[in-house]
Structure 1
Amino acid sequence: MYTRRSFLRSASLYSAGVLAAPALSSFIKAGQPTIGLQLYTVRDAMASDPAGTLAKVAQIGYNSLEGATYTGTEKFYGMDPKSFKDLLKSNGLVMRSCHYRVGEDLGKEKEMKGTLLNDWDRAVDDAAALGIKYMVCAWLSPAERKGLDHYKWLAGEFNKAGERCKKAGIQFCYHNHDFEFDKQGDQYPYDVVLENTDKNLVKMEMDLYWVTKANQDPIALFAKNPGRFPLWHLKDMDATPEHAFTEVGNGTIDFKKIFAHASHAGMKYFFVEQDKCPGSPFDSITKSITYIKKNLV
């Protein structure tokens, strides 16, 4: 819980951070940093008690959200855009981004609505009604990773999805894991996606954990594709042989160094995401936000 004294102390620290790192000044709004959370981190709690979960997330200090996978049936955690927007507003939260699926997988996604390939118009309309500014392709199932030619085809679908998003004032993005950096022939699928998509229609949400796990350099990718990475996922990698997920600042990723290149990357928003937590995810996201406030914004 913030007291007036802690608020003033935090505000002075944030101001100092802006002077030290002008690229991050866009994250300071009325003395408060914009710090996001990907709700997949608290997915079980959101499934059982979305209202209580959002209240707890806000109390911890997050004010910017990214939704986990939307479907036309489930909508936003069982709510229509207006109801969910009202719930967010009551907690001082804004959902800036949301995750979606391609919908090509003929398994459990066969009847899924609101994917790129199945009722995308409805997904875009719902996102616009909620005020979402970024719609992100979250993941490709193994059945959707069929070689470089297929990635080229997917790039074409991303362009189409991005064009539809643009009409609604929304930016389309693609979120990476590590499989996009499994070289096929002499190319990475990730490069195929970048090279075969319109740089204005299709931006990238860089997951810093997965890029690092794939032995890639985020800063080098920023240099090669400046301005292409408006969204970042922050989760750390521990020092064990398993390279397990851990809280931001508790592992081996040099976030301070990477954040120094935020402007070059074109980063607008970042979201803490921890796929697996050792205990309560609320404990983990509290540790992450504490580090972020002290060191990154």
Structure 2
Amino acid sequence: MTTFETSRRTFLAGALGAGVLACSPAATTAPAAAPPYAGRLGVQLYTVRDLFEADFAGTLAALAKIGFNDCETAGFFDHDPKEVRAAMDDLGLVSRSGHIRLPQLREGFAEQLDTAGIVGQQALYLGWIPEEERSGDKYRALADLLNQRGEEAKAAGIQLGYHNHEFEFLDLGDGTKGYDILLERADPELVAMEIDFFWAAEAGVDPRDLFARAPGRFRSCHIKDRARDGSMVSVGKGTIDFAAYLAEAGQAGLETFYVEHDNPEDPLASVAMSFAHLMG
């Protein structure tokens, strides 16, 4: 398998070669393209949730110092969204999207839209559903709810979407899968997808197959790595071929890119390592 590091070295070698050719009057080789996340690499704040809860301003400052410019929220932990927005503005940070929970999708969704507007978000993603919600009928009902809320979100200038784990790709016992139901029943104009590369790998799914199946549907992604033993690791420490996946960003429709690690020993060190690997 071609790793991201191998692809990055190939990219650098090509760039050097292009520089040599440029010395010749007949050179026509164009410079290698920048990665699709260049200038907009973000971080999912779930990774630093404990730090954010204790000191959101200090945590945001640390993330800005690393080089991130986009912070996807995972709740506000009783902090005032207006104060969070002010801190982000002071640091030159933005929040293009946020995660919400199923109860918030079902009840009080208008409040979630208001909060998104305060923070300046253009998208909200349902981040997870509990086990009791994972039957065929429940997935179909969820798709219908997403369509309904997607209409409301669209009227507010916000894109609604769904973030996967591995369980959506499991057979429900009748040959169907939850992810298939969501892709087919949820309206592409109202419900986008946020692909999580770790959980896709956990389920044995190649995201490129999904991109080809539903082009333009995948507006956002979570970039987190998986070691050979299945453990979650900082980006660059695992085996996921991000370069190959992100080469299809145009077909997928990717607009936002978030580094994440669910349970790192040192959250800031982990995201700093991931940032350095992707931008190095």
| In structure 1, distance between residues paired with 2:35 and 2:58 | 34
The letter of the residue matching 2:163 is: H
Match of 1:55 in 2: 61
Residue 171 of structure 2 corresponds to residue 183 of structure 1: yes
| In structure 2, distance between residues paired with 1:77 and 1:53 | 13
Which of 14, 21, 32 matches 1:20? Answer: 32
| Distance change (3 Å), C-alpha of 1:175 and 1:118 | same
| In structure 2, distance between residues paired with 1:91 and 1:43 | 19
Residue 235 of structure 2 corresponds to residue 248 of structure 1: yes
Identity rate, percent: 40
Provide the aligned C-alpha RMSD in A.
Answer: 1.8
Shift of 1:81: 3.2
| In structure 1, distance between residues paired with 2:152 and 2:243 | 36
Deviation per CA, 1:2-30: give whole Å up to 9, x if none.
xxxxxxxxxx99xx9x9433672xx44xx
| In structure 2, distance between residues paired with 1:37 and 1:129 | 19
Shift of 1:249: 1.3
Shift of 1:188: 1.1
| In structure 1, distance between residues paired with 2:117 and 2:31 | 35
Which of 279, 282, 285 matches 2:268? Answer: 282
The runs of at least 4 consecutive aligned structure 1 residues that moved more than 4 Å come to: none
The letter of the residue matching 1:182 is: L
Q: Is the 8 A contact 2:57 2:84 kept in 1?
A: no
Match of 2:217 in 1: 228
Which of 246, 250, 253 matches 1:263? Answer: 250
| In structure 1, distance between residues paired with 2:35 and 2:251 | 9
Please show how residues 103-114 of structure 1 align to structure 2 within 5 Å.
103=103
Match of 1:100 in 2: 100
How many residues are paired up? 253
Deviation per CA, 1:191-246: give whole Å up to 9, x if none.
10010010010000000000111001100100000000010001000122xx0110
Which of 99, 108, 111 matches 1:119? Answer: 108
Which of 33, 44, 65 matches 2:50? Answer: 44
Q: Is the 8 A contact 1:237 1:251 kept in 2?
A: yes
Question: Any stretches of 5+ residues in structure 2 without a counterpart?
Answer: 1-14, 20-29
Deviation per CA, 1:18-77: give whole Å up to 9, x if none.
9433672xx44xxxx211000000011011111111111111111101001x3xxxxx34
Q: Structure 2 length normalisation: TM-score?
A: 0.86
Question: Any stretches of 5+ residues in structure 1 without a counterpart?
Answer: 1-11, 71-75, 104-114
Which of 147, 150, 164 matches 2:152? Answer: 164
Q: Is the 8 A contact 1:236 1:246 kept in 2?
A: yes
Deviation per CA, 1:121-178: give whole Å up to 9, x if none.
1111121122101100000011222x11110010000001111110111100100000
Which of 131, 137, 155 matches 2:120? Answer: 131
Match of 1:205 in 2: 194
The letter of the residue matching 1:245 is: M
Q: Is the 8 A contact 1:21 1:260 kept in 2?
A: no
| In structure 2, distance between residues paired with 1:223 and 1:276 | 31
The letter of the residue matching 2:80 is: D
| In structure 1, distance between residues paired with 2:242 and 2:72 | 20
Residue 262 of structure 2 corresponds to residue 292 of structure 1: no
Larger radius of gyration: 2
| In structure 1, distance between residues paired with 2:35 and 2:219 | 13
Q: Is the 8 A contact 1:235 1:273 kept in 2?
A: yes
- Partner of 1:174: helix, strand, or coil? strand
The letter of the residue matching 2:105 is: L
